[in-house]
């Protein structure tokens, strides 16, 4: 993780602490740095306070899977699909459906 990039994001965040894009950027930055607890904090803040921010659900679900919280991951993917559908974001919906199916063990590929 670039210290300069993180510093800049934190400066922006301190000036605009309710900006969902900044929270998302920080969450993904911390996730990339393997600071899972801080990433989780930002992602959960997004889920709780910016429900319509579609990008949250894919990464938060993946983080829950990484933390062996499969039920949380599945419910996060389900909620994300609802939010993506409401936003008419078919690309996000498709990605969420794919990871949801995988988490549920519903892989349809021929072996």
Per-domain boundaries in the chain: 3-103
**Rg (alpha carbons) of the chain, rounded to whole number:** 15
What's the pLDDT at 2? 54
Q: What is the pTM of this model?
A: 0.89
pLDDT above 90: percentage of residues in the chain = 91
**Of 68, 23, 66, 28, residue with least CA distance to 47:** 23
The residue with greater pLDDT, 83 or 109, is 83
Distance in angstroms (rounded) separating the CA atoms of residues 66 and 20: 23
The residue with greater pLDDT, 96 or 110, is 96
**CATH no. for 3-103:** 1.25.40.10
Question: What pLDDT, in 10s, does the model give residues 39-72?
Answer: 999 999 999 999 999 999 999 999 999 999 999 9
Distance in angstroms (rounded) separating the CA atoms of residues 54 and 76: 11
Distance in angstroms (rounded) separating the CA atoms of residues 14 and 26: 12
pLDDT average, residue stretch 14-32: 97
């Amino acid at each position: 993780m670039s210290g300069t990039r993180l510093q800049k994001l934190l400066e922006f965040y301190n000036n605009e602490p309710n900006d969902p894009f900044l929270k998302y950027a920080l969450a993904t930055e911390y996730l990339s740095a393997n600071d899972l607890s801080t990433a989780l904090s930002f992602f959960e803040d997004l889920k709780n306070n910016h429900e319509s921010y579609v990008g949250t659900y894919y990464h938060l679900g993946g983080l829950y899977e990484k933390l062996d919280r499969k039920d949380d991951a599945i419910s996060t993917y389900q909620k994300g699909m609802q939010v993506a559908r409401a936003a008419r974001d078919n690309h996000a919906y498709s990605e969420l459906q794919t990871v949801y199916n995988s988490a549920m063990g519903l892989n349809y590929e021929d072996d």
